[in-house]
Structure 1
Amino acid sequence: MVRIAALLPGACAALLLAGCGGAAKDAARVKPDDAAVIDALADPIMSDPELASQNEAHAAIAVSGPVSAALPPIEAGDGAVDAARDAAARLIGGAPAAVPDAGPTDLTPFREAMTAAQMAVAARVPGSDCAGRVSYTARWATMLPEPLSVYPRGAVDEAAGSDVGCRLRIVHFRSPVAVADVLAFYYARLRSARFTVEHASDGAGHLLRGRQGGTGYVVYLRPNEDGLTAADVVVGGV
């Protein structure tokens, strides 16, 4: 899947690798308004209920100060990991229950997806047939159903979606939190929201898939080459 390169001062932007380890074919440029959304999504105010009162009357996006067109570097230290886990635990009301063992599956279509549109086709959710008509902007990351919102303090790299002819959202983000913890978080939230949840794995990646009424979803998680968790959330029919 195409990933946006983080721009670091004094260094050239490099293409992030796809989930399977192959080089992405291109990198999307970050618009200033997208950078503002990405900054807000990564801000602890977005994921910490104790800071909600600071978020301009609970607005979905709150940005203040100068906005940089570069993606913020992801914090991967122990403090950042603990803070993200604590925020996740508050959202689900405590430590998540164990996720049932996974059934075997072939995740090749997900590993080989190089664009958000290809990821949506692989997911086969309601609206996947509209994948070729999605638009790309980080604002789609704010339009996920609550049980599937970006893991606390996750770094959104790419988001796409459509409300024309279908309702589809595709979001790619990274987290310093281990795959098992992110997996348990989504499993707990989805079960609590009464979505059906199927867990499958090919040994390297994990997939949660299910639906509620006319809404279908896929959450695809795997470790990336930097030791971070790479995640793709696809929701259709929302």
Structure 2
Amino acid sequence: MDIRALKPVSLVLAIAALAACGSEPADAPAEIVVQDPLLARALNDPLMVDPDLSWRSEANAAVAIRDGHPLPLFAGSEDAAARAREAARIELLEGGQIPAVPLAAGSTGSAALGGLTTANEIVEALDARPDCIGDMDGRLGWSTQMPETSSIMPHGMVQQAAGVDQGTCVVRVVRYLTAADAADVLEYHYAKADRARFRVERFDAPEVQLRADRRDQALAVHVREGPNGLTEVDVVHWRK
């Protein structure tokens, strides 16, 4: 074949290609974006920015968690305590008059939990289905799966959570911090348990706590002084 015979054809193709480039509309990429919804979303969605990622260091975490991160620890203040108390009381008042917290029983309650750092230790200390410990995991997401009876106070800062929900093993463990004082914490958790028809007892030794139970479930709330002027709270709910 004569190579010279291909030259006119090549020239025509080259001219056509140049003409095509010259006639390409300026907004051609937008057409591509419209045709590709995933790319359109990636380019057009608002940019999400976290202005403070210092929590990743866990420098202020009361309890370090292997899976997930505790909420950052803020210092307590009278203003923060008032906001937490007001939010808690507003929530409780939606259910009617707030019941009065009973006086402490003369006997001693469960062992103090303040010196414990793992959910396994807490469950064992309370005898809260220790046979389920092997199936528990420490995801912070368990704090959002607490029964209404055992929900944490508004403005609470979750530091540790663990749980299991397999067959008869149903256990929830949450440690959180709040700017509210111990009396407000007790009022909140007592009202929740009382309205759910739990039989509730209060103890002030070896640390302030509520023990509640009914036929099929049990609940323990332990309250103590926490870091930075905050109140530390352990909530454990389990099925008997």
State how far apart, in whole Å, the 1-side matches of 2:142 and 2:217 are.
16
Within the candidate set 7, 13, 24, 2:59 is matched to 13
Q: How does 1:154-169 map to 2 (within 5 A)?
A: 154-165=156-167, 166-169=169-172
The corresponding residue for 2:88 is: 88
**Deviations 1:66-102 (CA, angstroms, capped at 9, x unpaired):** xxxxx33336333322221111112221555243223
Displacement of 1:107 in angstroms is: 4.8
Deviations 1:30-83 (A, max 9, x none): 53xxx5xx6xxxxxxxxxxxxxxxxxxxxxxxxxxxxxxxx3333633332222
Structure 1: runs of 5 or more not aligned: 1-6, 17-23, 39-70
Question: Residue 135 of structure 1 aligns to a residue in which SS?
Answer: coil
CA contact (8 A) 1:217 1:236 kept: yes
* Higher Cα radius of gyration: 2
Q: Does the Cα contact within 8 Å between 2:150 and 2:189 map onto a contact in 1?
A: yes
Alignment gaps of 5+ in structure 2: 1-52
Residues matched between the structures, number:
184
Identity of aligned residues (%): 32
Q: Is 1:182 matched up with 2:185?
A: yes
Q: Which residue, out of 47, 65, 68, partners 1:28? A: 65
| Structure 1: 4+ residue segments shifted above 6 A | none
| AA matched with 1:152 | P
1:149-193 CA-partner distances (Å, limit 9, x unpaired): 011110000100011240111000001111111012111221122
Summarize the Cα distance change of 1:209–1:98 in structure 2 as closer, same or farther, 3 Å threshold.
Answer: closer
CA distance, structure 1, for counterparts of residue 61 and residue 153 of structure 2: 23
- C-alpha distance in 2 between matches for 1:88 and 1:195: 20
Residue 75 to residue 147, structure 1, CA distance change in 2 (3 Å): farther
Q: Is the 8 A contact 1:133 1:162 kept in 2?
A: yes
CA distance in 1: counterparts of 2:58 and 2:150, whole angstroms: 33
Paired residues of 2:150 and 2:235 also in contact (CA < 8 A): yes
Q: CA RMSD in A?
A: 2.7
Are the aligned partners of 2:102 and 2:201 in contact in 1 as well (CA < 8 Å)? no
More helix by share: 2
State the partner residue of 2:212. Answer: 210
Change (3 A) 1:15 1:145: closer
CA contact (8 A) 1:96 1:185 kept: no
2:36 alignment counterpart: none
Letter in 2 for 1:208: L
User: Which TM-score applies when normalising by structure 1?
Assistant: 0.67
Aligned CA distance change for structure 1 residues 106 and 186 (closer, same or farther; 3 Å): closer
